[in-house]
């Protein structure tokens, strides 16, 4: 628009994204949908490319209880390097902006038929959410706005590897703004030695500090914390681990979410046998711990937990 003053055009260029690369002309989207995968269990996965050429994936999950769940990413790559997860295999590039996070939500919502909308959001895609709260929280504010998508605050879950300072910041924000999102903490091991091995971030924190931050989150929000436990064959599925996990959680008002490992071809870890999963869950529950098993969804299109990445397949 050469009829605008040059200086003004320069300011526009500095402050706004150039959306000519977008695949939806005239829309507010800045990304481009590179791939769409659909699985027969109703799961759909989008590979999006952002203006700088970087890519992320996001997933729509559907179940027969009318839950329509959007699973969104917060970063390009991930710096946490959990040994069994595909998302961090190529390291960390940058945070997603609030617009990029919101765009994933809107795009997933638009995959649904007109009469439906997203009922749940899980911040469980690529990246460590509490390291990008500056973008995530405003994006969730838009998703929960009554004149926006109007997703219920109670149906939003933020999952973290367990960074105490980040959990505290989140707790502070959600209490001040009356947005008690559900918190999920990726525990995966009941002792520091094993946890530091499979979740390297643990070397800087240790389980005790993570548990303390989770306890405080529960105390200020009143929302019970979920502890995710990816069950890895022969690694963290032994009777000793059940006893240690039960001891860690016995006096806490918590739920364990068991996620049978979803295999990543390049990584050496294997899923546990089906009967091990059941036994692990039964014995934990016999020890007075609340347990849920997260049934695998979308694994045929590599859209299950820990399988998201930033490449075309
Ligand atoms: N980075 C955040 C959000 C990811 S949520 C976090 O760590 O919580 C996805 C969950 O799936 C996490 O608990 C993650 O540790 C787990 N996960 C990673 N790789 C997996 C795999 N291969 N199979 C099953 N679960 C996996």
**pLDDT at residue number 22:** 59
Q: How far is the centre of ligand 1, averaged over its atoms, from the C-alpha of 85 (Å)? A: 6
Ligand 1 pocket member 306 (CB < 6 A): yes
Q: Domain coordinates of the chain in residue numbers?
A: 29-301
Mention every residue, 6+ apart, whose C-beta is less than 8 A from residue 13: none
| Per-residue pLDDT tens digits for 88-115 | 999 999 999 999 999 999 999 999 999 9
Ligand 1 pocket member 128 (CB < 6 A): yes
Type and span of the H or E element at 142: helix 133-144
Which ligand 1 atom is the nearest neighbour of the CA of 78? 1
Which residue shows structure tokens 């055009």?
9
**pLDDT at residue number 310:** 81
88-127 CB burial, b ≥16 within 10 A, e <16: bbeebbebbbbbbbbbbbbbbbebbeeeeebbbbbbbbbb
**pLDDT at residue number 11:** 87
Query: Of the residues 229, 305, 308, 309, which should be mutated to test ligand 1's pocket, given the most ligand atoms within 8 Å of the CB?
Result: 305
Q: How far apart are CA 176 and CA 145, in angstroms?
A: 16
Q: Whose CA is nearest to atom 18 of ligand 1?
A: 306
Token readout for 44 is: 């759909």
Q: Count CB atoms within 10 A of the CB of residue 4.
A: 11
Ligand 1 pocket member 87 (CB < 6 A): no
Q: How far is the centre of ligand 1, averaged over its atoms, from the C-alpha of 278 (Å)? A: 20
Task: Let me know if domain 29-301 sits in CATH 3.20.20.70.
Answer: yes
**pLDDT at residue number 27:** 66
Beta pairing class for 225-231 and 182-186 = parallel
Q: What pairs with residue 61 in β-bridges?
A: 69
Which ligand 1 atom is the nearest neighbour of the CA of 124? 5
Contact assessment for residue 237 and residue 269, using Cβ atoms and an 8 Å cutoff: no
305 is an active site residue: yes
Digit-by-digit pLDDT tens for the chain (313 residues) are 789 999 998 888 777 766 555 565 556 788 999 999 999 989 999 999 999 999 999 999 999 899 999 999 999 999 999 999 999 999 999 999 999 999 999 999 999 999 999 999 999 999 999 999 999 999 999 999 999 899 999 999 999 999 999 999 999 999 999 999 999 999 999 999 999 999 999 999 999 999 999 999 999 999 999 999 999 999 999 999 999 999 999 999 999 999 999 999 999 999 999 899 999 999 999 999 999 998 888 888 888 898 898 876 6
| pLDDT above 90: percentage of residues in the chain | 84
| Per-residue pLDDT tens digits for 275-310 | 999 999 999 999 999 999 988 888 888 888 988 988
Task: Pick the catalytic residue from 49, 266, 305, 312.
Answer: 305
Query: Of the residues 56, 82, 269, which should be mutated to test ligand 1's pocket, given the most ligand atoms within 8 Å of the CB?
Result: 82
Contact assessment for residue 73 and residue 105, using Cβ atoms and an 8 Å cutoff: no
Which ligand 1 atom is the nearest neighbour of the CA of 85? 19
| Per-residue pLDDT tens digits for 155-167 | 999 999 999 999 9
71 is an active site residue: no
Supply the pTM of this predicted model: 0.93
Task: Pick the catalytic residue from 57, 100, 103, 128.
Answer: 57
């Amino acid at each position: 628009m050469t009829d605008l003053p040059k200086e003004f055009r320069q300011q526009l260029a500095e402050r706004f994204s150039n959306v000519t690369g977008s695949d939806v002309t005239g829309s507010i989207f800045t990304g481009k949908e590179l791939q769409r995968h659909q699985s027969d269990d109703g799961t759909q996965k989008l590979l999006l490319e952002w203006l700088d050429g970087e890519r992320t994936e996001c997933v729509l999950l559907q179940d027969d209880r009318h839950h329509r769940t959007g699973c969104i990413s917060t970063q390009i790559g991930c710096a946490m390097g959990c040994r069994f997860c595909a998302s961090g295999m190529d390291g960390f590039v940058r945070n997603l902006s609030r617009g990029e996070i919101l765009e994933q939500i809107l795009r997933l919502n638009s995959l649904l038929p007109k009469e439906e909308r997203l009922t749940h959001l899980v911040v469980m895609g690529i990246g460590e959410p509490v390291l990008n709260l500056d973008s995530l929280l405003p994006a969730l504010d838009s998703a929960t706005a009554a004149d926006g998508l109007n997703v219920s605050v109670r149906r939003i879950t933020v999952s973290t590897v367990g960074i105490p300072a980040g959990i505290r910041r989140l707790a502070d924000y959600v209490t001040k703004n009356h947005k008690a999102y559900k918190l999920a903490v990726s525990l995966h091991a009941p002792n520091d030695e094993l946890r530091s091995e499979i979740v390297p971030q643990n070397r800087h924190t240790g389980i005790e500090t993570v548990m303390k931050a989770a306890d405080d989150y529960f105390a200020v929000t009143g929302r019970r914390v979920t502890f995710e436990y990816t069950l890895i064959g022969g690694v963290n599925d032994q009777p000793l681990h059940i006893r240690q996990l039960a001891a860690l959680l016995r006096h806490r008002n918590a739920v364990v979410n068991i996620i049978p490992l979803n295999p990543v071809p390049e990584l050496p870890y294997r899923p546990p046998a089906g009967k091990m999963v059941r036994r692990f869950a039964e014995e934990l529950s016999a020890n007075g711990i609340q347990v849920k098993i997260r049934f695998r969804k979308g694994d045929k299109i590599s859209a299950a937990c820990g399988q998201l990445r930033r490449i075309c397949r």
